[in-house]
Amino acid sequence: MVSKADLQGYQDFSRILLKAKDYLYVLPHSLLRPYVANYTITYPDGNQISENYTVIPNGSSTLVFSFDGNEIYAGLFGAATKINQVGEQANKRKVLFIIEFYPHGLYPFLKADQSEMKDCLLPFESVDRMLHREIYQAFEQAADVYALLRQVDQILLACMQNSFMKSELILAMDRIIAEGGRLTVKELADSVYYSERHLNRIFRQFVGVNVKTLLKLVRANKAIRYLQANRGSITKTAYEAGYYDEAHFINEFKSICHITPQSYMKNMSDFYNEIAKF
């Protein structure tokens, strides 16, 4: 298993997103990047993460392998539309290996209706026994970071062979991300020449949520970036993120994050929002 000291030995700067003595965020193999946002290896060390550490939902699925010193656990978080407080559980682990997917990114590997897994935490072995075993072995046996990432890349590349993704879905997702969620369902449907009903049906199957929900989640996550850059200016952030006005921004932010934008800025260290997706 990869040790904490191994993180410093990883020097592939073409893949590194963030790196410190306790964690490493890296890009996957180039062929996986339309579906996998990043891999993360982190060593919580009991007190590195706040007990209140909360993940902001973004419509994506996340696969987590963790080791508590005795056993390896593997859980799959389905498409997330609700906040998830993970600090207490994370601090009980010695090491975490996380695969973060784009909102439509899990389907090519599992080929299952994503709406059935929305907001669920499932034992990964019960979802896909073979894929669980292969990643489990890579996590358990890897001699260093290079070996772990190389093995996981190969496993996922083999798994996605013969996968089929609707081109209209990919075009729609590309536009959602490019526009930061600042679209209506009708505008998006018209751009890919689908009816709103049919586009929603595709999104529920391949993403796990309907179009309107994903637009709201992407817009909120994008707004967090603006909020940080604008040093908490609600007015400027609401304008740049495409909300009607400040009240609309605050209400939608609270509905997703369960906290006001002002409170978020005061407690940023307690929250995780995506770093590579949007």
Q: Which residues contact 230 (CB under 8 A, 6 or more apart)?
A: 236, 237, 240
Long-range contacts of 122-131 (CB under 8 A, 24+ apart): 122/75, 122/76, 122/78, 123/74, 123/75, 123/76, 124/63, 124/74, 124/75, 124/76, 125/74, 127/76, 131/155, 131/159
More confident residue, 51 or 12: 12
pLDDT digits (tens, 9 = 90+) for 204-235: 999 999 999 999 999 999 999 999 999 999 99
SS (H, E, C) 192-260: CCCCHHHHHHHHHHHCCCCHHHHHHHHHHHHHHHHHHHCCCCHHHHHHHCCCCCHHHHHHHHHHHHCCC
Q: Under the phi-then-psi rule, with left for phi > 0, alpha for psi from -120 to 50, and beta for the rest, what region is 263? A: alpha
Q: Residue 36: pLDDT above 90?
A: yes
Instruction: Look at residue 48 in the predicted model and tell me its pLDDT.
Output: 66
Q: Which helix (H) or strand (E) holds 66?
A: strand 62-67
Asked if 36 and 101 touch (Cβ cutoff 8 Å), the reply is yes
pLDDT digits (tens, 9 = 90+) for 68-126: 999 999 999 999 999 999 988 888 999 999 999 999 999 999 999 999 999 999 999 99
The DSSP code for 56 is P
Instruction: Look at residue 49 in the predicted model and tell me its pLDDT.
Output: 77
pLDDT digits (tens, 9 = 90+) for 138-160: 999 999 999 999 999 999 999 99
Q: Residue 47: pLDDT above 80?
A: no
Domains defined for the chain, CATH in brackets: 6-159 (no CATH), 167-272 (1.10.10.60)
pLDDT digits (tens, 9 = 90+) for 168-207: 999 999 999 999 999 999 999 999 999 999 999 999 999 9
More confident residue, 268 or 73: 73
Instruction: Look at residue 227 in the predicted model and tell me its pLDDT.
Output: 93
Q: Under the phi-then-psi rule, with left for phi > 0, alpha for psi from -120 to 50, and beta for the rest, what region is 111? A: left
More confident residue, 32 or 53: 32
The residue-averaged pLDDT of 229-256 equals: 95
Buried b vs exposed e over 195-205: b needs ≥16 C-beta within 10 Å? ebeebbebbbb
Q: Residue 46: pLDDT above 80?
A: no
Q: Residue 63: pLDDT above 70?
A: yes
* pTM summary value: 0.94
The residue-averaged pLDDT of 248-270 equals: 94
Q: Is 255 exposed, middle or buried (0-12, 13-18, 19+ CB in 10 A)?
A: exposed
Q: What is the dihedral of CA 249, 278, 195, 186, to 10 degrees?
A: 30
Longest dimension (CA), the chain: 53
d(CA 223, CA 240): 8
Instruction: Look at residue 50 in the predicted model and tell me its pLDDT.
Output: 79
**The token pair that represents 278 in the structure block:** 């949007």
Q: Residue 269: pLDDT above 90?
A: no
